[in-house]
Structure 1
Amino acid sequence: MSNKGIEKSTAPAAGATAGTRHYTITVNNQTYNVTVAVADGAQAPAAGSPAGGMTVAPAVAAPVKEGTDVDAPTPGNIIKILVEVGENVVVNQPLVVMEAMKMESEVNAPCAGKISAIHVAAGDAVQASEPLLTIG
């Protein structure tokens, strides 16, 4: 991981404590001044005042995801969804019919399980590696 765009501030901010760290971070050419406080050896959520008066929200942990996503193998259009949420599927069962470069192809189940979510509908255009559905 690169530290490009992250600079540690050399001047302490007013009211800074021994466990406080100040950073200037640039994201998409937008500069943010971020203060991170450390108390009792534990890291507190980041608080910041980015340039331009915007506020920085503390980082939120990504939700734990269960199941196996079935991704589009190529860019194309969804022609038909062959399964429904709650349906049990077996390995290699056809799930979706896609059209790519004027050719139809089936997307098959990589594993057995129950369809827990369908992320696309017939007529949708998708990109390669975009999740089509989830087997949970």
Structure 2
Amino acid sequence: MSTSDHSQAPASFAVSVPGFADSDLEVEDLDPGQVVSGSPVVSGKVLWESPDGRQLRGIWQITPGVVTDTEANELFVVISGRATIEVEGGPTLEVGPGTACVLREGDRTTWTVHETLRKAYHISL
């Protein structure tokens, strides 16, 4: 039986994502070329980053509007809000509270955010 080496693993932590105040999130730049309609505002907070910068865990939020993106490898769970995510050449995903979603690196997406969406995510670069 082998034991796992946890020396490179992040410290265990818990955070109340729904109760995480908007003021605790940092507004992120959104390229105007990504905005299809509305005036969406993106904010977030990285809670953990691997030493090599190739893995991130955090909270991300976007207000209503329509934006395009090219995705990284990501697993996320929607905490609040609702959106429709159209994956170019793939499915259309309806996401809301409790939805777990996986996006692949390079997926070209269009996000139609119906209600301010907040998610907890893990990204692998």
Q: Point out the structure with the larger helix share.
A: 2
The answer to whether the superposition gives a TM-score over 0.5 is no
TM-score by length of 2: 0.26
Larger radius of gyration: 1
TM-score by length of 1: 0.24
| Greater relative contact order structure (CA < 8 Å, 6+ sep) | 2
